[in-house]
Amino acid sequence: MRVYLDNAATTPVAPEVVEAMIPVLRDTFGNPSSTHSFGRNAKALLETSRRIVAKHLNCAASEIIFTSGGTEADNMAIHTAVTELGVKRIITSAIEHHAVGHTADAVSAHEKIELVLVNLDSKGNVDLEHLETLLKEAKPTLVSLMHANNEIATMIPLKRIAQMCRQYGAYFHSDTVQTMAHFPFDLSDLDIDFITCAAHKFHGPKGIGFLYANKKTKVTSFIHGGAQERGLRGGTENLAGIVGLAKAMDLAYEDVEEHQKHVFSLKSYMMDQLHALFPTVSFHGETDFDKALYTVLNVCLPATEKTSMLLFTLDLKGVAVSGGSACTSGATKGSHVLEGIHADMTRPNVRFSFSRYTTKEEIDYALQQLQQVYQHNLS
């Protein structure tokens, strides 16, 4: 048996998404910028897909800018805030995804922008009083805080922070890569400047995502080139990917509440079973349904002499999990997120992440293998 419990890294593409993409790859090969019928057909599909996305988020289609994924969308938000909106300070946190953290570091060094990290508690929750104190200093500011953390599941109160940013005149970007299509968004009721998406986190294809840029926030260019994406992002569009993204979003929002309940019940089941198997087990980040990303469970297991082999041994037994952010897998560096919340790094930390396709049988298999690893290899 092979069990995939690394859905925060990426998800399997839904069969319906593959079906939607095939005819585009085969038949709709025109360049959306061409004026002949082949181009016009492609353009029509592009704009239909944009409208589908906008309808799900309750925003204008013109506010959706397709990108190559979450990283590019995060880069776009941060760069344009500095180069076009006159931002002189970025407030972010120590546990952002590198798509934000490294971008903020690079932009602040290059553009001589002040970079400030907001305080966090031991679960990674933002200290809202500290944020407010920072915002009270009247400086042209971008706040960039992720909606849900991809390693420890902790979420921010998005609407509250959006209101605070408006109150103090700061721009607000939130990396919503892990929550897009997993939670409903109503952008008519959320005054935020930028949010981001990567289709491969919700059973869409890789290499496609988007930036939502509020129409009140005037930005004009990021990737220079052709006039695609209202001139903000030059380059021929990844049409099959865009159609796949829209289809994946349709599927996700068709039954988002059932999906949430199903996945959360698996997560709570796994937590209960882990408690029974390992009385000293603990969990990093938030675990409350109301405050946490229900697809992610970060487990701090008992220490053993051979803990470094844990992920490798589980992989040999067919269980794919992650020790931190998958985007750094292969690297030996510890997780900056666990470091950012001063977690116990002496014990093995395993991130299990689930999807709508995960079953209870798969969780049982993973638990069984984990138990065996502890009994045979690690004791």
Residue 70 in contact with ligand PLP, rule: CB under 6 A: yes
- Residue 216 to residues 59, 213, 234, 316, Cα–Cα distance (Å): 12, 8, 22, 52
What is the C-alpha to C-alpha distance for residues 234 and 252, in angstroms, rounded to an integer?
Answer: 29
DSSP label of 255: T
Rounded-to-5 percentages of helix, strand, coil across the chain: 45, 15, 40
CB 61 within 8 A of CB 51: yes
Residue 353 in contact with ligand PLP, rule: CB under 6 A: no
**Between 135 and 326, whose beta carbon lies closer to ligand PLP?**
326
Candidate list 7, 11, 49, 71; residue touching ligand PLP; CB under 6 A: 71
Candidates 76-84, 133-141, 175-183, 299-307: pick the segment binding ligand PLP (CB under 6 A).
175-183
From 59, 165, 197, 327, the catalytic residue: 327
Candidates 70-78, 84-92, 119-127, 239-247: pick the segment binding ligand PLP (CB under 6 A).
70-78
| Binders of ligand PLP in range 191-210 (CB under 6 A) | 198, 209
CB 162 within 8 A of CB 192: yes
**Between 243 and 378, whose beta carbon lies closer to ligand PLP?**
243
First to last CA, the chain: 24
Site size with ligand PLP, rule: CB under 6 A: 14
Please report how close the Cβ of residue 210 comes to ligand PLP at its closest, in angstroms: 10
Residue 150 in contact with ligand PLP, rule: CB under 6 A: yes
In our burial notation (b when 16+ CB lie closer than 10 A, e otherwise), range 93-125 reads bbbbbebbbebbeebbeeeebeebbbebeebbb
Candidate list 178, 217, 335, 355; residue touching ligand PLP; CB under 6 A: 178
Look at residue 124 and give its three-state secondary structure: coil
Candidates 66-74, 80-88, 135-143, 368-376: pick the segment binding ligand PLP (CB under 6 A).
66-74
| Sheet with 194-198, edge to edge strand ranges | 64-67, 209-213, 194-198, 171-174, 141-144, 89-92, 114-117
CA triplet 370, 373, 375: central angle to 5 degrees? 110
| Binding flags for ligand PLP, 21-60, as an x/- string (CB under 6 A) | ----------------------------------------
Candidates 33-41, 44-52, 171-179, 211-219: pick the segment binding ligand PLP (CB under 6 A).
171-179
Candidates 173-181, 184-192, 253-261, 278-286: pick the segment binding ligand PLP (CB under 6 A).
173-181
Candidate list 63, 175, 229, 362; residue touching ligand PLP; CB under 6 A: 175
| Binders of ligand PLP in range 209-238 (CB under 6 A) | 209
- Give me the DSSP letters along 71-114: HHHHHHHHHHHHHHS---EEEE-TTS-HHHHHHHHHHHHHHT-E
Residue 124 in contact with ligand PLP, rule: CB under 6 A: no
Please report how close the Cβ of residue 140 comes to ligand PLP at its closest, in angstroms: 25
What is the C-alpha to C-alpha distance for residues 343 and 117, in angstroms, rounded to an integer?
Answer: 18
Active site residue 300: no
Candidate list 32, 69, 285, 340; residue touching ligand PLP; CB under 6 A: 69
Residue 146 in contact with ligand PLP, rule: CB under 6 A: yes
Measuring CA to CA, which residue among 366, 74, 358 is closest to residue 197? 74
Instruction: Dig out the tokens for 312 from the structure.
Output: 């490798």
Q: Which residue in this structure is represented by tokens 């009083």?
A: 129
| Binders of ligand PLP in range 103-122 (CB under 6 A) | none
Candidate list 84, 231, 327, 364; residue touching ligand PLP; CB under 6 A: 327
- Residue 199 to residues 62, 68, 161, 224, 251, Cα–Cα distance (Å): 19, 10, 25, 24, 12
Candidate list 45, 177, 239, 301; residue touching ligand PLP; CB under 6 A: 177
Instruction: Dig out the tokens for 355 from the structure.
Output: 């999807």
- Which positions are annotated as active-site residues? 327
Provide the binding-site residues for ligand PLP, judged by CB under 6 A.
Answer: 69-71, 74, 97, 99, 146, 150, 175, 177-178, 198, 209, 327
